[in-house]
Amino acid sequence: MGIVSGYQKTLANPITLAGIGVHSGDPATVHFLPADPDTGIVFHRADADGKVHEIRALASEIGATDFCTSLGIHGVKVDTVEHLMAAVMAMEIDNLVIEIDGPEVPILDGASIRFIEAFDEAGIVAQAANRRFIRVLKTVRVEAGGSWAEFRPHDNMRFEVEIDYDCPLIGRQRFASDMNSEIFRREIARARTFGFMKDVEKLWASGHALGSSLDNSVVIGDDNAVINPGGLRFPDEFVRHKTLDAVGDLALAGSPFIGCFRSYRSGHRLNTATLRALLADRSAFEIAETAGQRPRERPAASLAR
């Protein structure tokens, strides 16, 4: 089944993950809870005084996008949501409450696969409500220097991501594919975040990458070689991770989209700017709902997968 078809879904059972933030270095525990149809994806973030703030996973709540994608524009925020949101989008989860007790989603292994494994363990159930999606009707493009990103009409959800680094190990790489849960799980979910050893001290000085390690990041040394003992998971792991980031950033549309997202040398800021540009132009998209008979209510366990 494709990402843009079928009925709304949520988790069959609650599940919990814990770890540290890649930038803050702070520990965080995340509880994933089933939610009713049409709830959407909602973070419940506890502040230092114990007060719980609701932050919806929507483009209107996007804050900083310098080194990660942050949600929350009124003081209380949740950083580095993109790897989690990519897993949510890929696994076709429409309704979920995410309780988090720290400022940043745990980085885990630097990819999305641990979130997907947790969702598999919890089980995913169909709900008696049709999915809604955003159908791209015309091209919307945003340029920034030598970088650009755009949405184009297409009959499925598709990503065409190209990167170009002044580093012999990476160079110019491209990943292009229609996207569904099977493709994401097989081709994208295990691709880890990456960085350069030469940038570490500058990042630390700015309060970033405090939780980064070889357990959660691909690190490129001064000799332009990967220093992780296990090497790369894919020969082109770098562009696959940039695709993972794009899936997570665009999940903040609030609904899956039908169209093609293309980019060249993009990152969180340009991904989210292009999403906002699409949503700001009401002639560029339409909201549609999947058709079909609503499923009969059945015990959650019978629908878990």
CB 34, CB 111: distance < 8 Å: no
Q: Is 23 a catalytic residue?
A: no
241 is in an annotated binding site: yes
Residue 74 is labelled as binding a ligand: no
Q: Which of 44, 154, 208, 268 is catalytic?
A: 268
Residue 126: name the closest of 95, 90, 153 by CA.
95
* Residue 148, SS3 per DSSP: strand
* CA pseudo-torsion sign 22, 90, 247, 185: positive
- Left if phi > 0, otherwise alpha if psi is -120 to 50, otherwise beta: which for 181? alpha
Angstrom distance (rounded) from CA 103 to CA 45 = 8
- Is 83 annotated in some ligand binding site? yes
Give strand ranges (E) for 183-277. 194-196, 218-220, 257-264
What's the residue count for the chain?
305
The gap between the terminal CA atoms of the chain, to the nearest Å, is: 13
Mark the binding-site residues for Zn(2+), compressed into ranges. Answer: 83, 241, 245
Q: Which residues are catalytic?
A: 268
